[in-house]
Amino acid sequence: VIDIRKLYAETGHFTYDPGFTSTASCESTITYIDGDEGVLLYRGYSIDDLADKSDFPEVCYLLLNGELPTQAQKEKFLKNITYHTMVHEQLSMFFRGFRRDAHPMAVICGVVGALSAFYHDSTDISDPVQRVIASHRLIAKMPTIIAMAYKYSIGQPFMYPRNDLDYCENFLYMTFGVPCEPYKVSPTLASALDKIFILHADHEQNASTSTVRLAGSSGANPFACIAAGIACLWGPAHGGANEAALNMLQQIGTPDRIPEYIAKAKDKNDPFRLMGFGHRVYKNYDPRAKVMQETARQVLDELGVHNDPLFQVAMELEKIALSDPYFIEKKLYPNVDFYSGIILRAMGFPTTMFTPLFALARTVGWIAQWSEMIADPSQKIGRPRQLYTGSPRRAFVPVAERA
Ligand code: ACO
């Protein structure tokens, strides 16, 4: 049994911090959050400015390289990304091995992990050039893999990427296009998706990013690390919340049922929580949720969906919750997942695709954080300790003598 006092006396420190609520696991220059003020910066730039004035590929460049690209750098980066959009043809067999009704997160977790069996050169993490190629491969191939998972689930043929389209347009084309008909990508929807991707691109040491870093700290290859991040993201307390939030809004159905759900969320004997509400770090309005609410309004207007019942329920739920002493006292505000599902549903994505879309956007954050860690000469394998609360040492009892 570890004697904590002895350990402390020997090492000078030992912290017990379940959920890592007050423990930094690394130094990072990528993303800054001020949870009390509701501020989020990528490399010093505010999320509102980036969502309003930039685009997702540029934000990818920023997260990976620390600076916004010049025009020439941006063109070169886009060329690198489009170069890698196809996946090895044999990977299509992986999809065919799954049941059609498999959750796409299960499929992409397996397929992304399998990339290391195809792109061996990118598994040499000691080579900085290969690390950059691995980053580009992941950012480029995630849309293709996720669109393939969707196409497989609905029994339609896979669509090869089109490198004449921009990042989001190509993703929409691979997802909703079919070979027998021309597909016209809506610029409004592509631009809304681009914004959603920017909002989800990184969020410092959340559970999935910490998982990527922990997996990577042992020297595991980048594809395996991102697959680990995808597995962690799937949980309903993390990336799975966007799917859960929309399901909840659908269950509520009409504004008159909101008080019933608010009461359930407050009832300590009921495990129900308002999905898309609350955050470990934000104790104020999540700045991403604000942009998301506005984007939802724009997309619904553009699609001619006026008075969308789910949007009405969401707005009313937010209003009621934010004036309720329980939510005020606990500083529970809508998070990024509260409104994103409404937009994605209006675009035609089924709810099971919501978390894969989050994974697509977060891949750049994961890989930027992984690259930062690997390049750090002081990097060590992540190896938390524990507080052992089990039995003290005892004598072994042969099976015949056990009561
Ligand atoms: N509805 C009702 N009560 C809540 C909610 C909620 N959504 N979230 C937290 N609370 C309450 C808890 O019951 C707890 O109450 P208590 O102090 O009386 O026990 C208190 O607020 C603090 O909650 P914790 O779970 O301790 O806070 P933590 O920081 O560990 O959890 C989390 C944060 C997981 C996001 C939580 O707020 C939650 O479960 N929210 C719903 C799921 C969700 O929307 N997740 C997405 C997060 S954002 C993202 O991953 C992109």
Q: Could you report the per-residue pLDDT of 159-203, keeping only the tens digit for each?
A: 999 999 999 999 999 999 999 998 898 898 999 999 999 999 999
Q: Which residues pair with 32 in a beta bridge?
A: 41
Contacts 24+ apart (CB under 8 A), 54-59: 54/198, 55/166, 55/194, 55/198, 56/167, 56/168, 56/194, 56/197, 56/198, 56/201, 56/361, 57/81, 57/166, 57/167, 59/197, 59/198, 59/201, 59/364
The sheet with strand 45-46 has its strands ordered as: 31-34, 39-42, 45-46
Query: What span, in angstroms and rounded, lies between the C-alpha atoms of 74 and 400?
Result: 72
Catalytic-residue membership of 279: yes
CA of 236 to the centre of ligand 1 (A): 11
- Whether 248 is in the pocket of ligand 1, judged by its Cβ within 6 Å, is no
Is ligand 1 within 6 A of the CB of residue 277?
A: yes
By C-alpha distance, which of 189, 151, 183 is closest to 168?
A: 189
Rg (CA), the chain: 23
pLDDT above 90 (res 83):
yes
114-121's contacts with Cβ under 8 Å and 24+ in sequence apart are 114/223, 115/87, 115/91, 115/141, 115/223, 116/221, 116/222, 116/223, 116/224, 118/87, 118/88, 118/90, 118/91, 119/88, 119/223
Q: Pocket of ligand 1, candidates 317, 327, 332: which has the most ligand atoms within 8 Å of its Cβ, to mutate?
A: 332
Which residue's CA is minimally distant from atom 29 of ligand 1? 280
What is the Cα–Cα distance from 3 to 38, expressed in whole angstroms?
41
Burial (Cβ within 10 Å: 0-12, 13-18, ≥19) of residue 98: middle
Per-residue pLDDT, 307? 85
State the distance from the centre of ligand 1 to the C-alpha of 228, rounded, in angstroms: 23
Pocket of ligand 1 contains residue 60 by CB under 6 Å: no
Measuring CA to CA, how many Å separate 96 from each of 71, 114, 138, 156?
41, 14, 21, 12
Name the token pair of 214: 């922990």
Closest by CA to 222, choosing from 307, 126, 301, is 126
Q: Is 40 helix (H, G, I), strand (E, B) or coil?
A: strand
The residue contributing the CA closest to ligand 1 atom 28 is 280
pLDDT at 134: 97
pLDDT in tens, 2-46: 666 677 777 777 788 999 999 999 999 999 999 999 999 999 999
Mean pLDDT of the chain: 94
pLDDT of residue 241: 87
Question: Which residue in the block uniquely carries the two structure tokens 């004997």?
Answer: 269
Query: What distance in Å separates the CA atoms of residue 262 and residue 314, rounded to the nearest whole number?
Result: 12
137 lines ligand 1 (CB under 6 A): no
DSSP 101: T
CA dist., res. 225 & res. 213, Å (int): 8
Helix H segments across 128-166?
128-154
Distance 232 CA to ligand 1 centre (A): 17
The answer to whether the pTM exceeds 0.95 is: no
pLDDT for 1: 55
Flag whether pLDDT at 254 surpasses 90. yes
Q: Cα 61 to chain center, whole Å?
A: 18
The span from the CA of 64 to the CA of 71, in Å, is: 16
Q: Rounded distance, CA 367 to CA 62, Å?
A: 12
| 279 Cβ inside 6 Å of ligand 1 | yes
pLDDT score recorded for residue 222? 97
Share of the chain above pLDDT 70, in %: 99
Q: What is the pLDDT of residues 139-156, one digit of tens each?
A: 999 999 999 999 999 999
Query: Does residue 39 sit in helix, strand or coil?
Result: strand
Helix or strand (DSSP H, E) at 157: none
Q: What end-to-end distance do the CA atoms of the chain give, in Å? A: 25
| Angstrom distances, CA of residue 220 to CA of 23, 31, 121, 142, 353 | 24, 24, 14, 19, 27
- Rounded to the nearest angstrom, the distance between the alpha carbon of 163 and the centre of ligand 1 is 41
Predicted pLDDT at 10: 79
Q: Is 286 a catalytic residue?
A: no
Residue among 103, 200, 279, 308 flagged as catalytic: 279
